[in-house]
């Protein structure tokens, strides 16, 4: 008899405020199959999976397990039903042994552990397991692939019948990935488990999955047997086809925002990056000798799947991360992102997650708006003191111009909504003439109106002659805004195309790792 679990999700929905993260998504994982879940960042994959695992319950829809409707209110409920999750990042205790980690996973530790009995049980389990690990091996000494195996073993030891894997191979080498996925597929086909796997890699889908579901902006785009899918088709599903009623121009039907042909005289490079290398937080090289140039009156889009070095590159350009090698030039002169250079050459930034990276939550809106010029007259008075009256006056004018709500300069920044935090940051960064603008995911998580507003501001800066570089996880956003697109993968620029001749399937292929 098959142990594998049959899962059916019917019309699942989830909203965060006005944002619809998941909209009427239905999904069927057949028992004993490997089901791939594809989609861009923010397409709703995580929201769906969090609902299934009980981390964040769904607003609407039903979940059926083996044909019976169930309610999954918390992770323990999911565990009881036989649904287990393997996360992208390891959740093993590195200081303990394999055996101790397996025992820990059961979640119920007695006051006194009878190791004799536990070991006998664990060795019996390990004998029947698809991959073998030495029970006494310290986890800190395991390779990434072995740790991933331990994660899966933990779920098998708990006798879970549906494994949800979140990008299981992102930390593995190609060989390790092949081995792990191959063994899981074999287990599924023997009817021991079902697998639901989130991935960005088309190769894995085509090689190991039986069926594939594609989400896009919270909606179901396609569900098909993998036999009917091709590389091209997957890319097209993920990126979406431009629909007739929804062209970029229609979304931005504002005279101020419409693209203007570039003036012929403004082609000089304003921002130049020359073989720039940057380290990530762990001290490993993440950006490898990237070169690019952004010209006056041009908006260049930097596309890529999250985690391919775009964050590090943007942070280096906006002064938040030190540079390992290479050079940055603004207006042809070396640029080290000092305050004096920023002011003199009018370089501004819109960082991603503006509340955490773009402003100081505990300071007031007025103080945040003054971060660029609190050391200049009229805010800086004689004797080097700060005039809070001037800070307030400046904030009042800019809050009005950028429609920050509520229009109260003394409010703590952290008390504003996401869209208004971004507007306040815009009010700081875009109130003076801009020469170079560096933006990262400028509209992430914002509602439609805020998106249109912020896009209009970016285009207005470009139209006023600024060199604008926008990195975004959302390819559609870039196709809509950019004059030219760059694709970054594994810390290198791998593709460059004029927006006019850009093909989203081709771009998607260049973005996806391993192709």
Please give the residue ranges that form the binding site for other proteins (CB under 8 A): 318-320, 337-343, 349, 351, 356-364, 367, 371-372, 374-375, 380, 384-386, 410-412, 414-415
Give the shortest CB-372-to-other proteins separation in angstroms.
6
Rounded to a whole number of angstroms, the minimum distance from the CB of residue 361 to other proteins is 7
Which residue, among 338, 268, 319, has the nearest Cα to 297 in the 3D structure? Answer: 268
Question: Which tokens in the block code for residue 79?
Answer: 């565990």
CA distance 205 to 227: 10
User: In the bound complex, what is the minimum distance in angstroms from residue 439's beta carbon to other proteins?
Assistant: 12
Residue placing its CB nearer to other proteins in the complex, 217 or 411: 411
Q: Please calculate the CA angle 339-344-345 and round it to the nearest 5 degrees.
A: 100
Least distance from other proteins to the Cβ atom of residue 68, Å? 35
* Nearest residue (CB) to other proteins, 130 versus 354: 354
Task: Give the CA-trace dihedral at 481, 296, 507, 37, to 10 degrees.
Answer: -50
141 near 84, Cβ under 8 Å?
Answer: no
Closest CB to other proteins among 190 and 339? 339
* Shorter beta-carbon distance to other proteins: residue 145 or 418: 418
How would DSSP label each residue in 317-337?
Answer: HTTSS-EEEEEEEETTEE---
Q: Which helix (H) or strand (E) holds 251?
A: helix 248-251
Task: Kindly state the smallest distance separating residue 431's Cβ from other proteins, in Å.
Answer: 14
Residue closer to other proteins, measured from CB, 92 or 337 = 337
Closer to other proteins at the Cβ: 123 or 338? 338
Secondary structure (3-state) at 197 = strand
Which residue lies nearer to other proteins by CB, 64 or 363? 363
d(CA 513, CA 204): 11
Beta-strand relationship, 298-303 and 467-472: parallel
> Smallest gap, in angstroms, from Cβ of residue 301 to other proteins?
21
Q: Which is nearer to other proteins, 208 or 335 (CB)?
A: 335
- CB contact at 8 A, 86 and 157: no
Contact 202, 505 (CB under 8 A): no
Distance CA(337)–CA(339), nearest Å, equals: 7
C-beta of 241 vs 375, nearer to other proteins: 375
Nearest approach, Cβ of residue 411 and other proteins (Å): 6
Here the tokens at position 10 are: 């019917």
Smallest gap from Cβ 93 to other proteins, in A, equals: 23
Structure tokens at 11: 């019309």
Judged by beta carbon, residue 381 or residue 515, the one nearer other proteins is 381
First and final CA of the chain: distance in angstroms? 40
Compute the least distance from the CB of residue 347 to other proteins, in Å. 9
CA 48 – CA 12 distance, rounded (Å): 8
* Class of residue 352 by CB neighbours under 10 A (exposed 0-12, middle 13-18, buried 19+): buried
Residue 485 CB contacts under 8 Å (≥ 6 apart), including other chains: 300, 301, 303, 478, 479, 495, 496, 497, 498, 499, 502, 507
Give the nearer residue to other proteins in terms of CB position, either 127 or 281: 281
Minimal distance in Å, beta carbon 510 to other proteins? 30
Q: Are 409 and 399 in contact (CB under 8 A)?
A: yes
Question: Least distance from C-beta 335 to other proteins, angstroms?
Answer: 11
């Amino acid at each position: 008899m098959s142990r594998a679990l049959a899962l059916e999700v019917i019309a699942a929905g989830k909203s965060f405020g006005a944002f619809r993260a998941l909209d009427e998504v239905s999904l069927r994982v057949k028992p004993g199959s490997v089901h791939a879940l594809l989609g861009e960042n923010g397409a709703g994959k995580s929201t769906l999976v969090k609902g299934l695992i009980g981390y964040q319950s769904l607003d609407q829809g039903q979940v059926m397990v083996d044909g019976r409707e169930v309610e999954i209110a918390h992770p323990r409920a999911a565990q009881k039903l036989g649904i287990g999750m393997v996360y992208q990042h390891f959740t093993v205790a590195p200081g303990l042994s394999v055996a101790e980690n397996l025992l820990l996973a059961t979640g119920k530790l007695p006051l006194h552990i009878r190791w004799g009995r536990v070991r006998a049980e664990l060795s019996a389990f390990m004998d029947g397991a698809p991959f073998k690990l030495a029970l006494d091996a310290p986890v800190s000494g395991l390779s990434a692939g072995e740790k991933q195996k331990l994660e899966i073993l933990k779920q098998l030891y708990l006798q879970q019948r549906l494994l949800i894997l979140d990008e299981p191979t992102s930390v593995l080498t190609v060989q390790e990935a092949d081995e792990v996925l191959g063994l899981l597929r074999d287990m599924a086909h023997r009817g021991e488990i079902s697998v639901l796997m989130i991935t960005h890699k088309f190769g894995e889908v085509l090689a190991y999955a039986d069926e594939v579901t594609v989400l896009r902006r919270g909606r179901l785009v396609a569900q098909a047997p993998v036999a009917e899918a091709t590389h091209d088709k997957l890319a097209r599903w993920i990126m979406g086809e431009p629909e007739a009623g929804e062209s970029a121009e229609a979304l931005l039907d504002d005279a101020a925002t419409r693209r203007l042909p570039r003036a012929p005289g403004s082609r000089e490079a304003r921002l130049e990056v020359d073989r720039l290398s940057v380290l990530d937080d762990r001290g490993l090289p993440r950006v490898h000798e990237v070169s690019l140039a952004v010209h006056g009156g041009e908006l260049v889009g930097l596309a890529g799947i999250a985690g391919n070095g775009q964050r590090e590159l943007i942070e280096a350009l906006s002064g938040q991360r030190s540079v390992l090698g290479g050079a940055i030039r603004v207006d042809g002169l070396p640029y080290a992102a000092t305050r004096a250079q920023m002011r003199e050459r009018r370089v501004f930034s819109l960082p991603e997650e503006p509340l955490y990276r773009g402003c100081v939550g505990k300071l007031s809106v007025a103080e945040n708006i003054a971060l660029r010029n609190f050391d200049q007259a009229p805010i800086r008075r004689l004797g080097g003191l700060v005039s809070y009256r001037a800070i307030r006056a400046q904030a009042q004018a800019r809050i009005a111009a950028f429609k920050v709500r509520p229009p109260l300069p003394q409010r703590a920044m952290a008390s504003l909504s996401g869209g208004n935090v971004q507007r306040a940051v815009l009010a700081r960064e875009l109130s003076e003439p801009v020469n170079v603008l560096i933006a990262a995911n400028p509209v992430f998580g914002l509602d439609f109106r805020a998106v249109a507003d912020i896009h209009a501001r970016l285009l207005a800066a470009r139209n006023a002659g600024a060199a604008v570089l926008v990195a975004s996880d959302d390819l559609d956003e870039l196709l809509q805004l950019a004059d030219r697109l760059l694709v970054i993968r594994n810390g290198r620029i791998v593709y460059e195309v004029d927006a006019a001749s850009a093909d989203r399937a081709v771009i998607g292929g260049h973005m996806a790792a391993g192709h």
